[in-house]
Amino acid sequence: MALLGCGADDAAPPPAPLEIEGSWLYLGPSDVPHDLQIGSGKMTYVDVDGQWSSSWTIKAYDNGLKHFQITFDSGSGAYLPMGQSLSGAYDVGATLLTVQLAKDASAYPPLQGPGTCTATDGMPVPDCRLYVKKTN
């Protein structure tokens, strides 16, 4: 005798991983060179010269809407990004990642466009970063 709703088939499938998981190298436009590692519910930023780093927990994400929320765990040196909780919007291709951050975890920034951190007037978009996928 089987009870309705008690079978193993009733379990929800695990959520898909955040689609931007992996190792990324910063391309610009204005911060110092750094690596971004995304995976296992964490984002870690590390200066390529080893002068600073920061670790963040991924609290929520939505691959369909291309949004994520992170909270600060720890940092050393004059690390980036700054804040206790941030939200982000992203666009990802085969090798390029565009991320725009907002200081409020509930306010997603408007993504200016894939592969660019420059507004239509030619000015840099604040808190926007371009990355290229690392092929270790």
- Decide: helix, strand or coil at residue 9: helix
Is 13 inside a domain boundary?
no
Gap between the Cα atoms of 83 and 102, Å rounded: 9
Q: What is the mean pLDDT of each run of 10 residues along the chain (136 residues)?
A: 52 84 92 92 95 96 94 94 92 92 80 81 87 88
Please say whether the beta carbons of 85 and 107 come within 8 A: no
Is 6 inside a domain boundary?
no
- pLDDT at residue 31, rounded to an integer: 82
Nearest to 69 by CA among 45, 88, 82: 88
Is 1 inside a domain boundary?
no
* Number of domains the chain is built from: 1
Say which CATH number the domain at 99 has.
2.40.128
Domain extent for 50: 18-133
CA–CA distances in Å: residue 14 to residues 18, 59, 64, 73, 123: 12, 15, 16, 25, 41
Kindly report the pTM of this predicted structure. Answer: 0.84
